[in-house]
Structure 1
Amino acid sequence: MPLHIAYGDSSTLRARCEVATVRTARPEDTDYEPGAVVPAGQWRPMTEADIKAVTAPRRPLDSTLVEIVRPPLIEGLPLEDLPRPLGDPDAVYLGQALAKPDMITTTDNYQDGRLLGLHLDNWDKLPYADKHTGRRRLCLNLGPGSRFIILGAIDAQAVCRAVHPDDHTQRYPHTDDYRTYVAGGRPIRITRIHLAPGEGYVAPTEYLLHDGSTEGQDQPSVAAFWLGQWPRGILPSLV
């Protein structure tokens, strides 16, 4: 299933979102891994067609839905326990990540420090047939600066089918599938969503191309992350 965002008011969603396309990192993009998929720039406001494209069906799968939320910070409760009352007692705290100001994308390869670009997570290591059932990631922007989450419009199963037409059912969808897809000249629309300090998202980062960004921001941003199976609407929506 493609990118679907839960919202109640389209003007509120439009106010915090922009859209663009992607490209493959060039040789001069030395901060990135070879073949990395990166935003092509030229971000533009969402149109009515863009809103329609991300509108979820009447009964979406919770596991594939994106929500823009305000996670409840409870005084005295450790961050790792924040999702305890949110419907998944087995939710896992992944820790925190610091992003420097003005980073187009934020996630690096811990082995060599090069940036991954837009990518898929693989905590659940799910095969093609089950990829849409993975846990969603909860993110809370701890500040001090704002940040973005960037999300691709085409899902991992669709990309896997496109690049492995003969044996996709035997595959484990991977970031490399997206890199092959983009290198072959096929476009991907991406949406970036603004998150101020105290705001966050719940998103299927095992299923959709994504990364954080602090592009254009003059302060660093620390984000905290969890993985879990949360029902839609368990957190207060910002849109």
Structure 2
Amino acid sequence: MVTTTDNYEDGRLIGLHLDNWDKLRCSDRHTGRRRLAINLGPGTRYIILGALDAQTVCRAVQGAGHEHRYPHTNDFRAYVTAGYPIRIIRIRLEPGDGYIAPTEYLLHDGSTEDQDQPSAAAFWLGRFPRGLLPSLV
């Protein structure tokens, strides 16, 4: 699948989107919980990330007072429609690989495009302090 997140309202796939579990305003969006995800396999999957944060997008499309509004996936769509550039990053996740990402702050979705085997992923929301996991770099 090019993207993996279902829209339960109409049965279609949402595609790149912004989470809203914590229901934070634009000015506080960076304080939201992070998503910890692990690819359970058996196949490879990807995380797709927009290299642009919600505050930057809201500032561009909502203008003055944006910090008091609530960011939405549609803000990113309006941003792209207005001709602003956005870079998308695709990161490969083998079974057992995972990530921690601010999915309330960054456009994202999963993908299993061009994979021979299906995969499942497990997700947790939480506050994962620095130093909790050893650095790989």
- Please give the residue correspondences for 1:25-64 in structure 2 after superposition, counting only pairs within 5 Å: none
Partner-residue secondary structure (3-state), 2:76: helix
CA shift in 2, pair 1:218/1:233, >3 Å: farther
Work out whether 1:190 is the aligned partner of 2:88: yes
Q: Distance in 2 between matches of 1:236 and 1:110?
A: 37
Q: In structure 1, what is the equivalent of residue 6 of structure 2?
A: 108
Residue identity opposite 2:40 in structure 1: L
Q: How many corresponding residue pairs?
A: 137
Q: In structure 1, what is the equivalent of residue 22 of structure 2?
A: 124
CA RMSD in angstroms comes to: 1.2
Q: Any stretches of 5+ residues in structure 1 without a counterpart?
A: 1-102
2:126 to 207, 225, 228: 228
Q: Distance in 2 between matches of 1:108 and 1:174?
A: 17
- Please give the residue correspondences for 1:76-87 in structure 2 after superposition, counting only pairs within 5 Å: none
Q: Distance in 1 between matches of 2:136 and 2:15?
A: 27
Q: Distance in 1 between matches of 2:131 and 2:7?
A: 33
Q: In structure 1, what is the equivalent of residue 78 of structure 2?
A: 180
Partner-residue secondary structure (3-state), 1:172: coil
Partner-residue secondary structure (3-state), 1:162: helix
Give the C-alpha shift of residue 237 in structure 1: 4.8
Q: Distance in 1 between matches of 2:7 and 2:20?
A: 14
Q: In structure 2, what is the equivalent of residue 145 of structure 1?
A: 43
Q: Distance in 1 between matches of 2:135 and 2:45?
A: 18
Residue identity opposite 2:70 in structure 1: Y
C-alpha distance after superposition, 1:114-167 (max 9, x if no partner): 111100000000011111000000001100101000111110000000001122
Q: Distance in 1 between matches of 2:63 and 2:109?
A: 27
Residue identity opposite 2:64 in structure 1: D
Structure of higher RCO (CA pairs closer than 8 Å, 6+ residues apart) = 2
Q: Distance in 2 between matches of 1:236 and 1:196?
A: 19
Q: Which runs of 4+ in 1 moved over 2 A?
A: 235-239
What TM-score, normalized by structure 2, do the two folds share? Answer: 0.95
Q: Distance in 1 between matches of 2:31 and 2:49?
A: 18
Residue identity opposite 2:129 in structure 1: P
Q: Distance in 2 between matches of 1:233 and 1:195?
A: 22
C-alpha distance after superposition, 1:64-109 (max 9, x if no partner): xxxxxxxxxxxxxxxxxxxxxxxxxxxxxxxxxxxxxxx1111110
C-alpha distance after superposition, 1:157-191 (max 9, x if no partner): 00000001122022111111001101112121011
Q: Any stretches of 5+ residues in structure 2 without a counterpart?
A: none
Residue identity opposite 2:42 in structure 1: P
Q: Distance in 2 between matches of 1:172 and 1:146?
A: 34
Q: Distance in 1 between matches of 2:110 and 2:99?
A: 11
Partner-residue secondary structure (3-state), 1:106: coil
Q: Distance in 2 between matches of 1:188 and 1:121?
A: 18
